[in-house]
Amino acid sequence: MRGALGGPRVLLRRLREVMAEPVSAQDRLDKIVVLIAANMVAEVCSVYVLRVDGTLELYATEGLNSTAVHKTVLRADEGLVGLVASEANPINLSDAQNHPAFSYRAETGEEIYHSFLGVPILRAGNTLGVLVVQNRARRTYTEEEEEALQTTAMVLAEMIASGELSAIAQPGAEPAARRPLHLTGTILNDGIAHGHVVLHEPRVVITNFIADDVPKELKRLEAAIETMRSDLDVLLERGELADGGEHREVLEAYRMFAYDRGWVHRLEEAVATGLTAEAAVERVQSDTRARMLRATDPYLRERLHDLDELANRLMHQLLGQDYAPARDRLPENAIIVARTMGPAALLEYDRKRLRGLVLEEGGPNSHVAIVARALGIAAIGRIDNATGVADPGDAIIVDGSSGDVHVRPSPDMERAYVERVRLRARRQSQFQALRETPCITRDGEKIALMINAGLAVDLPHIQETGACGIGLFRTELQFMVAASFPRSAEQFALYRAVLDAAGDKPVTFRTLDIGGDKVLPFMRNFEEENPALGWRAIRLGLDRPGLLRSQIRALLRAA
């Protein structure tokens, strides 16, 4: 592509200047479409923005009738623009009017234009709008032009996602990028939480999209990929992963993608259009995510998670940021949103500030769900694309009684849930008042009410509830949340802490009960026809007497 302004790199530099100008949102959009049209030698350039009602509104144009701006509104599946938005794929046609999806709108005056190139405006795989160029002559746009338009759309995506366009939107027709969302998943733990989103693996915030020196950016990309590959190789060579298991299989998948030449080539092509290395990673992954989110094959969707993880690692490497999230700096009323999470990771967060948990994966019997119940936080799993639709700091409501998650809730919704939280708090106060009431039946029989426990975080519940003791301490939970097999000294320390917390109250310990649905991350799992009655619990202990003896010794020492 070589137009009046000298190609895509010059266009990106000019776009950066326009984005920095102190002008209104409409003036900025109007300047952007003029720049794109001139650079691509296009007679038309238009921006359509997806609204909260699911329609696409013409927000700016160069070439179509200016009176159509904010007047032309298309259904999400209407016309070629709707097709681009719904499929999240570019459409490149030399004679658009002969396409079966073509929809004529008289107010735009587009009937004189034949060639059409439309690309989705994507962010984190979500469609925010459509960017279109058109010409009178029948022509097919080149791959370079299509690539350049997609790169430009990425810059527009950040403008839309920032909320800047809300100032020029009609009430009730705001851009969908910041719309309230109602999502439904699987209940992991009861409770209601109202707070703000904290991403367990925070997305990198890219502030510089446009490269000043493309060869330098290519070298940065190459160096970051090599470092990331080396880090993965080192992780896989560690002793604790040598015997296989789930953790090793996950890292093997990451390494396979990291060495995939096709993936690296797409990154290099994106940098060649004028993007910085980190913007190129974001661009390639957003395109990949958009396609794979629409796939019905569960295997492909699972691979999307691997690619998300890999892209996130690479962007952290490029920007020199620690990949591990800062869990000791949680805001008040934090609600963690993650694709998946191990139980140990959840325990690392500040319990006093943690209010809820939302996962894309995870079922009621998962290890992290067990920990969420121990922490007493509202938790919901199997929320599709949760990490893609929620931004850090967004208001969020987690309803563990119904499985509903509300992202960026409306003021009315927030008020309704604030009242529900108050009602639950009052109910808890009523229960608290009964804490010291003797447990005696009407005919005078005393009943000993005890708690179930399994982790150190459960121990304060003895005093909080006024329980008579611990009716069942599930020792397997210590093993399930650990990254490696707990040594005898670690087991002794936990059992001693349990007995100290219980004081003179009785405690019943259950020996290691694993197998079936309770899988240890560092232990190989075996397929059985009936795992619930198979090699598990005491059968496993008797078959591995060293393991059972080690635990019994720790219990006896603690007693």
Written as one string, the DSSP assignment of 18-52 is: HHHS---HHHHHHHHHHHHHHHTT-SEEEEEEEBT
**pLDDT at residue 184 in the model:** 95
The predicted-structure confidence for 529-557, as pLDDT tens digits, reads as follows 776 677 777 877 788 888 889 999 999 99
Q: Does domain 181-200+327-430 sit in CATH 3.90.1300.10?
A: no
Q: At a CB cut-off of 8 Å and minimum separation 6, what does 239 contact? A: none
- How many other CB atoms sit within 10 Å of the CB of residue 539? 12
For the chain, state the CA radius of gyration: 28
**pLDDT at residue 348 in the model:** 80
- Give the separation between CA 436 and CA 289, rounded to whole angstroms: 55
Structure tokens at 126: 């979500």
The predicted-structure confidence for 326-377, as pLDDT tens digits, reads as follows 556 788 899 999 988 877 778 888 888 999 999 998 888 777 888 898 888 9
The CATH class, in words, for 8-178 is alpha beta
Average pLDDT per 10 consecutive residues for the chain, totaling 559 residues = 54 84 93 92 95 93 94 92 93 94 90 94 89 94 87 87 87 86 94 92 76 89 89 66 52 75 88 87 83 67 70 83 62 90 80 92 82 90 90 93 93 89 84 85 91 87 89 87 82 93 93 73 66 74 84 92
- Give the separation between CA 388 and CA 528, rounded to whole angstroms: 37
**pLDDT at residue 244 in the model:** 47
- Give the separation between CA 102 and CA 99, rounded to whole angstroms: 5
Q: At a CB cut-off of 8 Å and minimum separation 6, what does 496 contact? A: 557, 558
- Listed residue (484, 463, 462, 465) closest to 473, CA to CA: 462
Structure tokens at 25: 């949102």
**pLDDT at residue 286 in the model:** 82
Q: CB–CB of 325/200 below 8 Å?
A: yes
Q: CB–CB of 83/91 below 8 Å?
A: yes
Q: At a CB cut-off of 8 Å and minimum separation 6, what does 336 contact? A: 198, 199, 200, 346, 349, 354, 356, 357, 358
Distance of CA 82 to CAs 98, 129, 357, 388, 413, Å?
A: 16, 9, 35, 22, 30
Beta strands in 395-514 (DSSP E): 395-399, 404-407, 451-453, 470-474, 507-510
What is the DSSP secondary-structure string of 521-548? TTS-----SSGGGSS-HHHHHHHSHHHH
Q: Is 112 exposed, middle or buried (0-12, 13-18, 19+ CB in 10 A)?
A: exposed
**pLDDT at residue 463 in the model:** 87
**pLDDT at residue 323 in the model:** 54
Beta strands in 339-434 (DSSP E): 354-359, 378-381, 395-399, 404-407
Q: Which residues of the chain does CATH 3.50.30.10 include?
A: 181-200+327-430
Q: Which residues of the chain does CATH 1.10.274.10 include?
A: 214-319
**pLDDT at residue 371 in the model:** 86
Assign domain 214-319 to its CATH architecture: Orthogonal Bundle (1.10)
- Listed residue (128, 129, 131, 68) closest to 104, CA to CA: 68
φ, ψ at 522 (rounded to 5°): -105, 10
Q: Which residues of the chain does CATH 3.30.450.40 include?
A: 8-178
- Give the separation between CA 475 and CA 460, rounded to whole angstroms: 17
**pLDDT at residue 346 in the model:** 85
**pLDDT at residue 377 in the model:** 93
